[in-house]
Amino acid sequence: MTAVEVWWGRTADARPGLVGELAPAERDRLAAYARDEDKSRFLVGATIVRRVLAGKLELAPADIQLDRSCPDCGRQHGKVSTEGMQLSVSHSGDLIVVAFHPTAAVGVDVELINPAIDADSLAAVSLSDLEATELAGFEPAARARAFTQYWTRKEAVVKATGDGIRADLRKVIVSAPDQPPALREWSGYDGPVRLVDLQAGVEYAAALAILSDQSPEVRSFDAAPMLRS
């Protein structure tokens, strides 16, 4: 199966010169963010999408047609899609990640691990009883990372299907963080899915899901050189 391309950017890669490649709806979104870090995350994510697709399709980044229609309200803040490529965007802290596959739907999620989170309370709203019991078996100092690994595995799956947070994450049951990543059970989806953990440094957890019955090869790329030119 064709490899999944995973491109990593950083908020520090954002610069005003990139804005000219965005579509009007994207510029409106950029302007609506109050915080500079949110602007940078969105700008870098949208630019990685445009420039990687431009390279593959031999088009100018500004000429790439993207659709982000939200199935709930129709506004341009939903899962990004384009003809001929499946993709998924995620950002957290200083990191931005975009996954691309030519045919199979993909979902990617990166999260900055907050060591101060109350993992046990969050478990009550986002983990199944089985997962919460497993989480309680981790040392307290390891629980924030373990919880965030569950979270990113679940989010990757619901982002691949396009459900997003409309899915009840307690029912999206994934393998424990110390086990190979897999979807154990989810009544909301009965097709094939494969999960992969992505390495994003000690401060982050990240996972990739692909709606396929084959484990994908993952090729990682640093977007910084592409964003500098």
Ligand X SMILES: CC(C)(COP(=O)(O)OP(=O)(O)OC[C@H]1O[C@@H](n2cnc3c(N)ncnc32)[C@H](O)[C@@H]1OP(=O)(O)O)[C@@H](O)C(=O)NCCC(=O)NCCS
Of the candidate residues 30, 56, 120, 164, the single one contacting ligand X (CB under 6 A): 164
Q: How far is the CB of 78 from ligand X (least distance, A)?
A: 5
CA distance 201 to 148: 13
- Three-state DSSP state, 149: helix
Residue of 15, 3, 200 lying closest to 96 (CA atoms)? 200
How many amino acids of this chain bind ligand X (CB under 6 A)? 20
Q: What is the DSSP string of 100-146?
A: EESSS-EEEEEEE--TTS-HHHHHHHHS-HHHHHHHHTS-GGGHHHH
Binding to Zn ion by residue 70, rule CB under 5 A?
A: yes
Using CB under 5 A, which of the segments 3-11, 66-74, 80-88, 184-192 binds Zn ion? 66-74
CA distance 219 to 176: 24
Binding to Zn ion by residue 130, rule CB under 5 A?
A: no
Binding to ligand X by residue 165, rule CB under 6 A?
A: yes
CA distance 167 to 154: 10
Of the candidate residues 28, 67, 72, 129, the single one contacting Zn ion (CB under 5 A): 72
Q: How far is the CB of 137 from ligand X (least distance, A)?
A: 26
List the single partner that 145 binds among ligand X, Zn ion, none, CB under 5 to 8 Å by kind: none
Structure tokens at 175: 């393998």
Q: Are 52 and 38 in contact (CB under 8 A)?
A: no
Of the candidate residues 51, 91, 143, 153, the single one contacting ligand X (CB under 6 A): 91
Using CB under 6 A, which of the segments 73-81, 114-122, 178-186, 188-196 binds ligand X? 73-81
The mark string for 168-207 relative to ligand X (x by CB under 6 A, - otherwise) is ----------------------------------------
SS3 content of the chain, % helix, strand, coil (to 5): 40, 25, 35
Nearer to Zn ion, 125 or 165 (CB): 165
Q: Are 86 and 1 in contact (CB under 8 A)?
A: no
The mark string for 92-131 relative to ligand X (x by CB under 6 A, - otherwise) is -----------------x----------------------
